[in-house]
Structure 1
Amino acid sequence: GHEDRVQCLAYSPDSKWLATASWDCTIILWDSDGQLVQEWIAHSGSVKSLAFSPDGQHLVSGGGDRRLVVWDVMPGIGTPKARILEEHTEELDRCAWSPDRTVIASRSKGGIVRLWDARTFQLLRLLDSSLKTDHRHDLLFSPDGRTRLATGAHGGVVRIWDVQTGEMLSASKRHMRAVLDVAFSSDGTRILSASEDKTVKICDASSGAMVLSLEGHTAPVNKACFSPCGEYVASVSADLTVRVWRTDDGSCIKALLEHKDPINAIAFSPDGKTLASGALNGTVVIRYMRDIVPVEGTDIPCGL
């Protein structure tokens, strides 16, 4: 496995592979049972972000070496073929692939977001320079493809951007401290934000009205995500716990204490069957949702 902190992880769209990235400069590809399938040195610095293409054929990574790299996914065959994009002048901390497969977004440590044509790998545009205030925090596309991009910021602010024009559509203060992560529900109607203030807020993605506040962590919430059908939210924290919450009433189903170091990454598999997390000591834990929630309440019957 990894020899340093796991910075991020991502499932392939078919749930067959889990990719994890680390400060040890490597990317590891695991199968659905947690067996290591492939490992390679991906960057000359730490690997800080990962995203699969919607068809699962490619994996994009951003690193401390200021490179954005698009990899061909070829499990078990040495180091995959790569295309390197080198427009950034600072290390990269986030990348994302639009659901319609046409755009890749990357963000540098200084907060500059670049949008790339995912077919030609040509730079399309930069988002407004005010994004520099969003240093360190997350970005992702809405599930509808190219309409919206969300970013979290210092000061507890979540911003929504128009991907086509680069214009800011809205900005709302949701937390008392910095936003560390943002995530849309799979239908795009809700958006969550995880914060240094130890809470996760779920809001209406259109109006910005708060729906739920998930409270229980005793340290900053580093990451959070919706389950594929939106029934649950999983969150991870510096308090060493993985928490699973219901989105209908905000109740915490389970608090899992399985890691020995602060947890920095969390993701549901697209089929809703597993939940993976990664910690600062390099460990990755994959667990079955059927062991966390009652069978009748799992996301598995989603049709995924």
Structure 2
Amino acid sequence: MSRPITRPLKKDVLPTAMKPLKPVLFSESPRPSLLVPNIRALSWSATGGLLATCTSAHIRIWNSERPNVKSSTEIRSGHNGSFAGSPGGSATAVEKVMFCPTTENVLASTGQDGGVRLWDVRVPGGVAGAGKGTQLADCKLGDPGLFLTWHPNGQEMVVGTKDDNVHAVDVRRMMDFDSASNTWTLEPSNRTPLNEKAASPRYYAMCFSNSGREVFATTGDGPVKILDYPSMSILHSLSGHSYATYAVQHSPRGDWLAVGGGDSSISLWDTNDWHCAHNLTSHTSAVREISFSFDGAYLAAGSGTDARDGSSGIDIYHADTGDVAHTIDTSNPVTVAAWHPFKYWIAYAGDPGGLKLIGPGSPSA
């Protein structure tokens, strides 16, 4: 892997560093077409060596420095409407993927079958039978999965379903490795409801604070709830949007909380005193995806399935000032964008052909 950048770039230097960089296409076809794959989510692994994408049909794991599809791994046996290999089921429908923050090879996914699955995406070797998309464990939530987020400790997740229920999933209870037989066993009782549906607002997304002691939750009526974890009692509400809020992220430095809403704006909250310091309004459609750069200095956003209603280009916002520091030209509106965990690389979807990555192959990257 390339040596990570550890020195942040100032706002006036970033455009000079990024403007010469050309996007690298990661296409599933050796002959990319003008079609736009419906990439619903993407996630960087803990070191940035891998990139996971999902469409409604399957999951694909990319080597972030090898765009050739032959260097990728496809997981097509995912959320197929059945559970844990039971017969029958409807067409595959994957909703969300996210790499474990502490273990490079472990990926979590959820989808229309109401399940949460853990995958080992290493090349074969190590644990017998593991790698190349081996299913390690799963649990059933009962209703289609909508979102999931890892606790910073890499041992727990919070998962939301489309029936407005939220569950805590203990990964340690999902996976019980038997060293004697060198096999994985699955635990059926491994999730805990965190909310009472009748008393809870509609949640669209959640993320943990950097400490893992709080959960930030977007809602259908707009305010972002700051919840104690694991009690999920409401500690505070942040009201900065006139419509539903869809995306929320805590910056790596911990000084900012970014919230994206259906009003096409992003609110940036100063976590020292919890006031809204900036309201970013250059976005032209609902903000459903938010990503901070590794140093917390810059922010990028995507519009999910609403991207077709917006304009093209990725505005990179400077968190401390709220200014647009640089704009990456794209052919189409961007559905999802995500910064590399240690470099000024940014992956995004929405353009023809497939996933694109700004950064690799350039000395300034």
TM-score above 0.5, yes or no: yes
Higher alpha-carbon deviation: 180-189 or 166-175: 166-175
Higher alpha-carbon deviation: 225-234 or 171-180: 171-180
The residue identity in structure 1 corresponding to 2:53 is S
Q: 1:269: Cα distance to partner?
A: 1.1
Structure-2 residue corresponding to 1:111: 114
Q: 1:53: Cα distance to partner?
A: 0.9
Structure-1 residue corresponding to 2:285: 261
Q: 1:41 aligned to 2:32?
A: no
Structure-2 residue corresponding to 1:122: 134
The residue identity in structure 1 corresponding to 2:96 is R
The residue identity in structure 2 corresponding to 1:149 is M
Q: 1:139 aligns with which of 148, 161, 168?
A: 148
Deviation per CA, 1:100-151: give whole Å up to 9, x if none: 22421111233322111232121112212xx24253x210211111x20111
Structure-2 residue corresponding to 1:72: 63
Q: What is the CA–CA distance in structure 2 between the aligned matches of 1:52 and 1:275, rounded to whole Å?
A: 16
Q: Structure 2-normalised TM-score?
A: 0.65
Q: Which residues in structure 2 correspond to 1:77-116 (within 5 Å)?
A: 81-88=71-78, 89=80, 90-99=92-101, 100-116=103-119
The residue identity in structure 1 corresponding to 2:98 is A
Q: What is the CA–CA distance in structure 1 between the aligned matches of 2:17 and 2:245, rounded to whole Å?
A: 26
Q: What is the CA–CA distance in structure 2 between the aligned matches of 1:273 and 1:15, rounded to whole Å?
A: 13
Larger CA Rg, structure 1 vs 2: 2
Higher alpha-carbon deviation: 190-199 or 275-284: 275-284
Q: 1:243 aligned to 2:251?
A: no
Aligned residues: 263
Question: In 2 relative to 1, CA 45–213 (structure 1 residues): closer, same or farther, beyond 3 Å?
Answer: same
Q: 1:62 aligned to 2:54?
A: yes
The residue identity in structure 2 corresponding to 1:72 is N
Please give the root-mean-square deviation of Cα atoms over the aligned residues, in Å. Answer: 2.9
Deviation per CA, 1:75-100: give whole Å up to 9, x if none: 7x565721111112222110011122
The residue identity in structure 2 corresponding to 1:178 is R
Q: Taking CA–CA contacts closer than 8 Å with sequence separation of 6 or more, which of the two structures ends up with the larger relative contact order?
A: 2
In structure 2, the gaps of 5 or more residues are: 8-15, 30-35, 81-91, 123-130, 175-189, 324-342, 344-365
Q: What is the CA–CA distance in structure 2 between the aligned matches of 1:246 and 1:116, rounded to whole Å?
A: 36
Q: 1:203 aligned to 2:227?
A: yes
The 3-state SS of whatever aligns with 1:172 is coil
Deviation per CA, 1:132-172: give whole Å up to 9, x if none: 4253x210211111x20111234644321111224113412
Q: Which residues in structure 2 correspond to 1:172-251 (within 5 Å)?
A: 172-173=195-196, 176-251=200-275
More strand by share: 1
Question: In 2 relative to 1, CA 14–177 (structure 1 residues): closer, same or farther, beyond 3 Å?
Answer: farther
Question: In 2 relative to 1, CA 125–32 (structure 1 residues): closer, same or farther, beyond 3 Å?
Answer: farther
The 3-state SS of whatever aligns with 1:107 is strand
The 3-state SS of whatever aligns with 1:138 is strand
Q: Structure 1-normalised TM-score?
A: 0.77
Q: What is the CA–CA distance in structure 2 between the aligned matches of 1:73 and 1:114, rounded to whole Å?
A: 23
Q: What is the CA–CA distance in structure 2 between the aligned matches of 1:217 and 1:194, rounded to whole Å?
A: 11
Deviation per CA, 1:153-192: give whole Å up to 9, x if none: 3464432111122411341259754211110122222211
Q: What is the CA–CA distance in structure 2 between the aligned matches of 1:32 and 1:187, rounded to whole Å?
A: 32
Q: 1:284 aligned to 2:269?
A: no
In structure 1, the gaps of 5 or more residues are: 1-12, 17-30, 294-303
The residue identity in structure 2 corresponding to 1:67 is H
Q: Is the 1:227–1:268 Cα contact (8 Å) retained in structure 2?
A: yes
The residue identity in structure 1 corresponding to 2:71 is K
The residue identity in structure 2 corresponding to 1:41 is S
Q: 1:50 aligned to 2:42?
A: yes
Q: Is the 1:264–1:277 Cα contact (8 Å) retained in structure 2?
A: yes
The residue identity in structure 2 corresponding to 1:38 is V
The 3-state SS of whatever aligns with 1:164 is helix
